[in-house]
Structure 1
Amino acid sequence: MNFKRLTLLLLALCPFLLAAQTITSPDKNFSMKFELVNGVPTYQLTYKNKPVIKQSTLGIEAKNVPSFTDGFTVTNTAQVSVNDTWEPVMGEQKTIRNNYNELAVTLTQAKNNNRYIVIRFRLFNDGLGFRYEFPKQDGLSYFIIKEEHTQFKLAGDHKIFWIPGDYDTNEYAYTTSKISEIPGLQKKATIEINAQRPIENPSVQTPSMMKSQDGIYINIHEAGLINYPALQLNVDATGFVFSSHLTPDAVGNKGYIQTPQSSPWRTIVVSDKATDILASKLILNLNEPTKYKDVSFIKPVKYIGVWWEYFVAGRSTWAYGKENNVKLTDDFSKLTPNGKHGATNERVKEYIDFAAKHGFDAVLVEGWNIGWEDWIGNWKEEVFDFVTPYPDFDVEMLHKYAESKGVKIMMHHETSASATNYERRLDRAFQFMKDNGYNAVKSGYVGTIIPRGEHHDSQWMVNHYIHVAERAADYGIMVNSHEAVRPTGLNRTYPNWIAQESARGTEFEAMGGLAPEHGTILPFTRLMGGPMDYTPGIFQTDLSYYGTGSNQRVNTTLAKQLAYYVTMYSPLQMAADLPDNYNRFLDAFQFIKDVAVDWDDTYVLEAEPGDYITIARKAKGKEEWFVGSITDENKRTAKVNLDFLPKGKKYTATIYADAKDASFDKNPQHYEIKTITVTSKTKLDQFIAPGGGFAISIKEAAKK
């Protein structure tokens, strides 16, 4: 019996295959319905009987073979339920529950020689994930994606926190508006940024965070972005419909599929509580477990670095020499020093001493290697070789000096966006790191991508970032990537990919500033996909202090900078300010020294995107808890319920808070520190200044 006859027989014997298929979440709050409409696959999602996604179409348009958009019949369905747990190498929780109901629908196109695909849906208690799967089969081994046609037909004109769609940067400031207002605000939102490629039609990036008029919070993103271009969202502002827009490559194609292969998961996290959005682990759960046999080298890191002074102090530069038009083959020892090079032996030793004194794990050093003289603005293939230091940076001596102090030096690899050059030199660079005691690298991709025509978010570059993480693991190295594609939970699969920037971080405080609400939006957007190297801890917020003529300021209070260590999750946290500034505020600096960066548990106490966030966390393997709370430009009183503490015990809480006269623009360094005794019954009402925050360290009370 041939496949076509078998298909007809199945349809005759199994009329249920023609009907809509429905699954519910384990807690019954969600319902997802799949059905074919005139051969076109569709889905819809409801939450507590309210529509979240109205009937929306699914499909993949191909370029060199017939498309996967219509002419389908359902030839098989399979359902399964999963309820288990797993432990991340590092994370916000020691144990994560993975609980979902799954529907896998096999769709066959009789008109295309019974070619078939699978659409797999997983419905969790916090939302939906689904993906396209292309099994290996006769007649389908390779095809080119022209576009993905996944719709998200929303139920109304929701409030949305968004940045414009762009193939090359995520470093925009967030705009808050109605969906219907996006087209009119797109131009204003698309501010000038290095190496940008904004999408011409109205579009937004994911994660996209929304709130409906009746109080439903909706977050759309993707999980498990592997061997596929990153997702953008076209915006139909009148129908409130988002549709997928994949990042193209150098010749305009959207992706290349070689079966068997799957798309990333499309994710929709939903709740009527904003706190549940932040607590969701749906994106992590949809990623594959790590295949690394050895994860012992992957550890949380708290670090300082030769970095912030390049932006604000006016006394340091990445480059060593004055001359331009240099090549890697030149003798850099003959360059005329510019007198402002930051990564000198003397300067780095000062940072190492400070790190050792205050218990930090590592010192990041940027500008240590040749090539910084003229790469910005030049689309050059070979700028850095990643192994040759400037004449005033003694690699071997500094390694021994740091080792004697119990401190690691963190490598910096600015690739100048020349990914081809980086890949050619990758093994030598990692071997150089291993030989000289480096176990972590901060990589950068500032500029327009080489291979020319590719984008930061294209399939080729997505594969590049993963290749770097996998190769680094071979050498026992952790990776912190900047200017890379936004994360999609791959820190589960590649746990040595310890953090990313991929958003507008602290460096922009010195380049135009960040709005006070920015830090209250990022956890609902960028951080949904994974940890961010936000580089907090700026104590000297008025940058005119340095006498460089800058009137720029960091738009937070000092206390809010402390709170970021709890609200901005990352197992890699930097104390980003200059050591001199920490020495001026050693009592506040104590919180940065004490705060953990890896956690047993997390409690989202209160949250509203764009307004405020209060989070408590328990340190990994310790009876210590830390609380962070931040607000936007408005002052408020946070409600902190300490019922997460073990019952029947007394604890000492040290509170680092804004003073009553503090604000981000006036008196940002006015703070107060107090110590009180607390229990699980304690409820605190804590003042927060405009653009401010507070941080609390909780430890077991000393026994008398």
Structure 2
Amino acid sequence: MKSLFVLSFTVLFSAFNVANSQTLQSPNGALTMQFSLKNEGTPTYQLSYKNKAVIKPSTLGLELKNDEKSLLNDFSILKTETATFDDTWTPVWGEEKQIRNHYNELAIHLKQNETDRIMVIRFRLFNEGLGFRYEFPQQENLVYFIIKEEKTQFAMTNNHTAFWIPGDYDTQEYDYTESKLSEISDKFDAAVTDNASQEQFSKTGVQTALMMKTADGLYINLHEAALINYSCMHLNLNEENLIFESHLTPDAIGDKGYMQAPCKSPWRTVMVSDDARDILASKLTLNLNDPCAIEDTSWIKPVKYIGVWWEMITGKSSWAYTDELPSVQLGVTDYSKVTPNKTHAANNTKVKRYIDFASEHGFDAVLVEGWNEGWEDWFGKSKDYVFDFVTPYPDFDVQEIHNYAKSKGVKMMMHHETSGSVRNYERHMDKAYQFMNDNGYESVKSGYVGNILPRGEHHYSQWIVNHYQYAIEKAADYKIMVNAHEAVRPTGISRTYPNLIGNESARGTEFQAFGGSKPNHVTILPFTRLIGGPMDYTPGIFEMDISKLNPNNNSHVNSTLANQLALYVTMYSPLQMAADLPEHYEQFMDAFQFIKDVAIDWDESIYLEAEPGHYITVARKEKGSDNWFVGNVNGNHQRTSNIKLDFLEKGKKYTATIYADAKDADYKTNPQAYTISTKKVSNKSKLSLLSVPAGGYAISIKPIN
């Protein structure tokens, strides 16, 4: 049931009668935002939490291209508007059955004295943080304009500890570095690792969501929400005064944004709390996005899947059908005249094996990559017409596989790798989506590996951000769910378009096969990447020694098996993959039972323990059920996790099945050492469980009837 109460108050006088300073408080009074104009008419804001400064006075505005007067100063306040909003909405899928959207709002209407241009800065203050954006109403003196740079500042109060990745126009696939703000430039080069496409802009540039902790125990997160028709924001730090300033991703000629009024920027967000759990539980990012734009959402359903993927990532198998072709021209190359390489994974026999496994163990879908022509020269060739997304290799019969999967009660998941050629993808999109409809594919994993075509564009520039949005909206027309990899990191768009059921856009499990990720990586991602939306992290690896799959690959998965189980709870996503090979699961069927049991859609989520870079413990209640699942992931140091089960219903008895690190578990030398135990529990129960470095535990809790 929704409840809505809105109170608006407008102040409208001649500009010189309106006070140059305005104050806004959060509904609970803990946060206070102050807006003011400096003497030269420069917009400025500051933020405090429980009387502690969080953001010192910071300037706002935009620098314009080819314009004598930027939107930086010479403003006076034309009018102000205030409002209170309190509503509850129901997500199509999510961590909670219902989400409360409660904030106080202040809109400052500014008039630039010399140009008579109007700019509105709208602030929304929630109990857990601040959102603000720039708005440009319809007007004669500001119609078309080009952004040279957005000059939004976030002035830090001290030399905080930060969890950051290098600012980059093309990738977020980095391990996180923990350092003081003043140490970013010194550690920057070491933080940059190789990627298929990358370009950094500054030795003090970092990406959002940026997580920080102050010396006196405040947790601060900087990000953005509702990134629509705008360039992705990074942050560039002035190390001398510890001020972050926004840095937008440029296009091929260096411009940051092409605007036409009426228009608006994304929201800039500052979350703050003295409890790290509040950051993880916050729905501020979702609440700053528009309500669902899809009228009928009945076809959008969470998906638990397996796929022919990990064996290719590790080098055990290949995407390509043959090794004989130095290049491929679609429509010209005749695959019937070449010799198969015998390592091609997307063949009928192997895919049927995965379908059988999915059917036997209750998985919804099977993903197949490398099924379509063109993989022999798909990467790094700056090739426009790289795939057509509908033509299979000779050893993959689309109709036969569709019929076989249907007979087993399993859906097939489509794979569209664009190789960064977005024009080619848009050229083929309608045909590709119709092909999916015709052959029973309800979801697609899209990919944008490599440099973007048109040449010179970046993964996070305005034009490419608009492409990702176009793909989501076009997919909705065909009732297709989208899981976009290598796309821009999410900013809560899934509220408006819940068919965006997953994203990668960070360093996922695949990097464990490329040399590994830091042992505490998964204790940071929920505080950073997942702030904007769920991640297709592809967990569930049981065989950590990659050389057992590919003797030429000496990589090691830096995780215990119990940690891999816990990820299904701690790394929230309505799209969860059991990423390992079926034969590895068959070796550990008792542990695999948790992956089979764990839900992927929830009525309630409770963050029990949290400290970025160290540990996260989450309890979630399965949607429409009395079953609970608990996950704990640990960082670099062994610890004992002590939790209360007081979230369980009073008077009920439950059976808890606990999958935990064994005492001798070691993510390097003994990662498959785990214990499974059962015990009766109630809401009065307490548990004390060991978590080794890069370890953790997973618990299923089911009521006793």
* TM-score over 0.5 (shorter chain): yes
Distance 2:652 2:296 in 1: 39
Residue 111 (structure 2) aligns with:
108
Change (3 A) 1:323 1:8: closer
**1:297 aligned residue (296, 299, 308):** 299
Residue 200 (structure 1) aligns with:
202
Q: CA-to-partner distance for each residue in 1:443-499, whole Å, 9 max, x for gaps?
A: 000000011111000000110001000000111100000000001011101100100
SS at match of 2:196: coil
| Aligned pairs (5 A) from 1:259-270 | 259-270=261-272
Q: CA-to-partner distance for each residue in 1:49-83, whole Å, 9 max, x for gaps?
A: 00000000000111133311000000100000011
Residue 595 (structure 1) aligns with:
598
Q: CA-to-partner distance for each residue in 1:266-308, whole Å, 9 max, x for gaps?
A: 0000000011110111011000011111111100000000000
Q: CA-to-partner distance for each residue in 1:180-199, whole Å, 9 max, x for gaps?
A: 00011111111121110111
Q: Please report how far the alpha carbon of residue 201 of structure 1 lies from its aligned counterpart in structure 2 after TM superposition.
A: 4.2
Matched, 1:528 2:531: yes
More off after superposition, 286-295 vs 221-230: 286-295
Matched, 1:627 2:616: no
Residue 28 (structure 2) aligns with:
27
Q: Please report how far the alpha carbon of residue 237 of structure 1 lies from its aligned counterpart in structure 2 after TM superposition.
A: 1.4
Q: Please report how far the alpha carbon of residue 542 of structure 1 lies from its aligned counterpart in structure 2 after TM superposition.
A: 1.4
| Aligned pairs (5 A) from 1:295-694 | 295-312=297-314, 314-329=316-331, 330-546=333-549, 548-694=551-697
SS at match of 2:495: coil
Q: Please report how far the alpha carbon of residue 652 of structure 1 lies from its aligned counterpart in structure 2 after TM superposition.
A: 0.5
Matched, 1:236 2:225: no
Q: Please report how far the alpha carbon of residue 139 of structure 1 lies from its aligned counterpart in structure 2 after TM superposition.
A: 2.0
Kept in 2: contact 1:320–1:390 (CA 8 A): no
SS at match of 1:561: helix
Residue 287 (structure 1) aligns with:
289
Which amino acid is 2:62 matched to? I
Q: Please report how far the alpha carbon of residue 239 of structure 1 lies from its aligned counterpart in structure 2 after TM superposition.
A: 1.0
Matched, 1:122 2:121: no
Which amino acid is 1:649 matched to? K
Residue 247 (structure 1) aligns with:
249
Residue 176 (structure 1) aligns with:
178
SS at match of 1:111: coil
Q: Please report how far the alpha carbon of residue 376 of structure 1 lies from its aligned counterpart in structure 2 after TM superposition.
A: 1.5
Which amino acid is 1:265 matched to? W
SS at match of 1:593: helix
Distance 1:535 1:411 in 2: 16
Distance 2:237 2:455 in 1: 28
Q: Please report how far the alpha carbon of residue 138 of structure 1 lies from its aligned counterpart in structure 2 after TM superposition.
A: 1.1
Kept in 2: contact 1:444–1:481 (CA 8 A): yes
Residue 146 (structure 1) aligns with:
148
Distance 1:131 1:318 in 2: 46
Q: CA-to-partner distance for each residue in 1:486-529, whole Å, 9 max, x for gaps?
A: 01011101100100000000000000101111000000000001
Q: Please report how far the alpha carbon of residue 635 of structure 1 lies from its aligned counterpart in structure 2 after TM superposition.
A: 1.1
SS at match of 2:189: helix
Matched, 1:134 2:101: no
Distance 1:335 1:139 in 2: 64
Residue 4 (structure 2) aligns with:
none
SS at match of 1:18: coil
Uncovered stretches (5+) of structure 1, i.e. residues with no partner? 1-6
Q: Please report how far the alpha carbon of residue 8 of structure 1 lies from its aligned counterpart in structure 2 after TM superposition.
A: 11
Q: Please report how far the alpha carbon of residue 344 of structure 1 lies from its aligned counterpart in structure 2 after TM superposition.
A: 0.2
Distance 1:200 1:57 in 2: 21
Distance 1:171 1:215 in 2: 29
Q: Please report how far the alpha carbon of residue 321 of structure 1 lies from its aligned counterpart in structure 2 after TM superposition.
A: 4.5
Q: Please report how far the alpha carbon of residue 317 of structure 1 lies from its aligned counterpart in structure 2 after TM superposition.
A: 3.7
SS at match of 2:400: helix
Kept in 1: contact 2:202–2:236 (CA 8 A): no
Which amino acid is 1:10 matched to? S
Distance 2:267 2:493 in 1: 12
**1:99 aligned residue (99, 102, 126):** 102
Distance 2:58 2:387 in 1: 48
Kept in 2: contact 1:62–1:144 (CA 8 A): yes
Residue 10 (structure 1) aligns with:
14
TM-score, reference length from structure 1: 0.97
Which amino acid is 1:20 matched to? S
Residue 3 (structure 1) aligns with:
none
Distance 2:207 2:317 in 1: 37
Q: Please report how far the alpha carbon of residue 313 of structure 1 lies from its aligned counterpart in structure 2 after TM superposition.
A: 5.7
Q: Please report how far the alpha carbon of residue 691 of structure 1 lies from its aligned counterpart in structure 2 after TM superposition.
A: 1.3
Q: Please report how far the alpha carbon of residue 547 of structure 1 lies from its aligned counterpart in structure 2 after TM superposition.
A: 5.3
Q: CA-to-partner distance for each residue in 1:136-172, whole Å, 9 max, x for gaps?
A: 1112211000000000001000000000100000001
Q: Please report how far the alpha carbon of residue 11 of structure 1 lies from its aligned counterpart in structure 2 after TM superposition.
A: 3.3
Which amino acid is 1:11 matched to? A
Q: Please report how far the alpha carbon of residue 337 of structure 1 lies from its aligned counterpart in structure 2 after TM superposition.
A: 1.0
More off after superposition, 661-670 vs 71-80: 661-670
SS at match of 2:343: coil
More off after superposition, 629-638 vs 580-589: 629-638
Q: CA-to-partner distance for each residue in 1:620-668, whole Å, 9 max, x for gaps?
A: 1111100000101211111111111110100010000111100101211
Distance 2:326 2:565 in 1: 41
Distance 2:586 2:44 in 1: 60
More off after superposition, 320-329 vs 376-385: 320-329
Distance 1:546 1:78 in 2: 62
Which amino acid is 2:512 matched to? E
Kept in 2: contact 1:323–1:336 (CA 8 A): no
TM-score, reference length from structure 2: 0.97
Which amino acid is 1:176 matched to? E
Which amino acid is 1:153 matched to? A
Kept in 1: contact 2:55–2:157 (CA 8 A): yes
SS at match of 2:376: coil
Kept in 1: contact 2:319–2:371 (CA 8 A): no
Which amino acid is 1:139 matched to? N
Kept in 1: contact 2:319–2:375 (CA 8 A): no
Distance 2:314 2:465 in 1: 33
Kept in 1: contact 2:315–2:553 (CA 8 A): no
Residue 214 (structure 1) aligns with:
216
Matched, 1:696 2:699: yes
Q: Please report how far the alpha carbon of residue 334 of structure 1 lies from its aligned counterpart in structure 2 after TM superposition.
A: 2.0
Change (3 A) 1:606 1:546: same
SS at match of 1:373: helix
Kept in 2: contact 1:415–1:444 (CA 8 A): yes
Q: Please report how far the alpha carbon of residue 23 of structure 1 lies from its aligned counterpart in structure 2 after TM superposition.
A: 0.7
SS at match of 1:657: strand
Q: RMSD of the TM alignment (CA)?
A: 1.2
Residue 4 (structure 1) aligns with:
none
Kept in 1: contact 2:12–2:79 (CA 8 A): no
Aligned length: 692
Q: Please report how far the alpha carbon of residue 335 of structure 1 lies from its aligned counterpart in structure 2 after TM superposition.
A: 2.5
Distance 1:412 1:544 in 2: 27
Residue 38 (structure 2) aligns with:
37
Which amino acid is 1:510 matched to? A
Kept in 1: contact 2:444–2:480 (CA 8 A): yes
Could you list the structure 1 runs, at least 4 aligned residues long, displaced by more than 3 angstroms after superposition. Answer: 315-321
Change (3 A) 1:407 1:110: same
Identity of aligned residues (%): 61
Q: CA-to-partner distance for each residue in 1:582-635, whole Å, 9 max, x for gaps?
A: 000000000000000010010000010000000000001111100000101211
